[in-house]
Amino acid sequence: MSTAAEAGTWKLGDMEVNRIGYGAMRLTGNGMMGNSDNAPIDRDVAVGLLHKAFEQGVNHVDTAAFYFSPLRSANELINRALSSWSGDVVVVTKVGPGRHPSGEWLDTIRPDELRGQVEENLRQLGRDCLDVVNLRAGGPRTASIAEHFGALAELREAGLVRHLGLSAVLPEHVTEAQKIAPVVCVQNSYGLDWRRADESGLVDLCREQGIAFVPFFAVSGLRREAAAGQEHDARVHSVARAHNATPAQVRLAWTLHRGPHVLAIPGTTNPAHLAENIAAGSLRLTEEELVLLGKPDEGTVRDSAPDAR
């Protein structure tokens, strides 16, 4: 069985993690959208799935306090799994615009409200200090994040947070934040069908500054929070057949080939898909295949909406 270590490692600050991690958004059974039509995942099943991930070398989990549905909280499920696990796992969470306990989205938050969000994550995860906290940008995409990131830097100095990162940002936000405190990771939507981070230079900027670039929606693409649909890209199918792999594995492998600083955080509640996602870290694409996949299909639709995760 493949392990997450086969994808290589990267350091988030002083914490080394395997480049294949796990995204906890789907652990709630309804993603973060609060859709009550889906049955919530059984708690014991969720904990068992996380343990399977840890057993296969996953030591980096992405989460957020706003990953919840009417009956499940991703943070609380992670807390339960870690309480019965002896290994080291780095937990990365997010603060910024989020959701009211009722599920309603809150698009703006004041800098002085970030401490409450950090403390909420601490309580739910059962931690005294959070490994990494990403500031999720809100409001106009070009708005300054200095005041909000500065508030998180103060919480870092106070010992509530170990390292800081960013989510759903532009290159200028990284530059702005780095003047305030070190940035160890940047999370943005990125994949074969959604390459805004390439067009803006964000992926290369992170590489140049030694910052982990952590794509989300790398498999689901333009479907975003929805589960990945049927693969329609003939290039992906061609490469998948050559490696006896799945299209999802090819998409993840393509992302990891973008650079050694690029991590992956695919999420699933299916143990078989979990194993496939982890195995994607050992898939080595040829230069010819990378060239083939590197050219977007003509007519590819690019969603103009800001990152919503």
Give 127-176 pLDDT, tens digit per residue.
999 999 999 997 677 789 999 999 999 999 999 999 999 999 999 999 99
CA contacts within 13 A on the Cβ side of 179 = 8
67 tagged catalytic: yes
| 262 assigned to some structural domain | yes
Q: How many domains does the chain have?
A: 1
Where is pLDDT greater, at 105 or 79? 79
Query: Looking at residue 138, what is its pLDDT?
Result: 76
DSSP-based three-state secondary structure for 188: strand
Q: Is the pLDDT of residue 296 over 70?
A: no
Q: Which entry of 22, 67, 194, 216 is annotated as an active-site residue? A: 67
pLDDT of 244-273, one tens digit each? 999 999 999 999 999 999 999 999 999 999
What are the strands, taking DSSP E only, across 66-138?
A: 90-95, 98-99, 105-106, 130-136
Residue 188 pairs with which residues in a beta bridge? 215
pTM above 0.75, yes or no: yes
Q: How far apart, in Å, do the first and last CA atoms of the chain sit?
A: 31
Q: Provide the pLDDT for residue 182.
A: 98
Report phi then psi at 68, rounded to 5: -150, 160
Question: What are the distances in angstroms from CA 42 to CA 24, 55, 113?
Answer: 14, 20, 33
Reply yes or no on whether the pLDDT at 201 is more than 90: yes
Mean predicted confidence (pLDDT) in 285-291? 93
- Enumerate residues 6+ apart whose C-beta is below 8 A from 127: 91, 121
On whether residue 204 sits in a domain, the answer given is yes
Q: Give residue 31's pLDDT.
A: 47
Q: Is the pLDDT of residue 293 over 60?
A: yes
Q: Domain residues for 269?
A: 4-230+251-283
- Find the mean pLDDT for residues 169-185: 97
Percent of the chain residues topping a pLDDT of 90:
73
For the chain, the residue count is 309
- How much of the chain, in percent, has pLDDT values that exceed 70? 88
Whether 114 has a pLDDT exceeding 60, the answer reads yes
DSSP reduced 3-state for 17: strand
Q: What is the pLDDT of residue 301?
A: 38
Over 90: is that where the pLDDT of 47 sits?
yes
Across the chain, mean pLDDT equals 89
pLDDT of the residue at 298 = 38
Reported as a pLDDT band with limits 50, 70 and 90, residue 300 is very low
CA distances from 50 to 17, 57, 109, 230 (A): 16, 11, 31, 26
* Among 107-111, 132-136, 156-160, 205-209, the least confident range: 107-111
Neighbour count for residue 175 (Cβ, 10 Å):
12
Higher pLDDT, 61 or 192: 61
The CATH number of residue 41's host domain is 3.20.20.100
